[in-house]
Every structure is written in structure tokens, then in C-alpha cells.
């Protein structure tokens, strides 16, 4: 289980962290993505969707717990 620090950060894998492959872009003008950036985004979209669907399936097939009324 992840524990939050007083600063609000936690050690969970789901925490959004800057990716080392991202370049610092300080331009105020939009630019076209490079083919490698488009491939990277498509790949990571697929990975995240696979994880999401796997998690949803594990929740759907998990045994239901009975609660006391």
C-alpha cells in the first residue's frame, strides 16, 4: 500500500511522474509531433487500455463479499 508523504506525493505506481523520454519544450508555438512521438503515444495508450481492461475484468470476476445488515 502506498503511503502519502506530508507533501502529498506517494509511492504508488499510479502517481503521475515526469517521463524521462519527454523533452522539455519551452516554445509558446504549437508544433507537429514527430512520428516517434506518435508511435510512443499509441503504444502507451494500448498498454494503459490493456491494464484498465485487465483490472476491470479482475473486479468483475472477483468473488462478492456479503455484508452484514
8 φ/ψ sector (left φ>0, alpha ψ -120 to 50, else beta): left
pLDDT in tens, 15-38: 555 555 666 667 788 889 999 999
How many residues make up the chain in this entry?
Answer: 69
Place of cell 503515444: 41
pLDDT tens digits, residue range 32-66? Answer: 999 999 999 999 999 999 999 999 999 888 887 77
pTM of the model as a whole: 0.46
Amino acid at each position: 500500500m502506498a503511503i502519502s508523504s506530508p507533501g502529498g506525493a506517494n509511492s504508488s505506481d499510479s502517481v503521475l511522474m515526469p517521463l524521462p523520454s519527454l523533452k522539455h519544450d519551452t516554445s509558446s508555438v504549437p508544433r507537429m509531433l514527430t512520428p516517434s512521438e506518435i508511435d510512443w503515444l499509441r503504444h502507451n495508450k494500448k498498454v494503459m487500455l490493456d491494464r484498465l481492461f485487465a483490472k476491470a475484468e479482475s473486479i468483475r470476476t472477483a468473488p462478492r463479499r456479503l455484508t452484514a445488515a
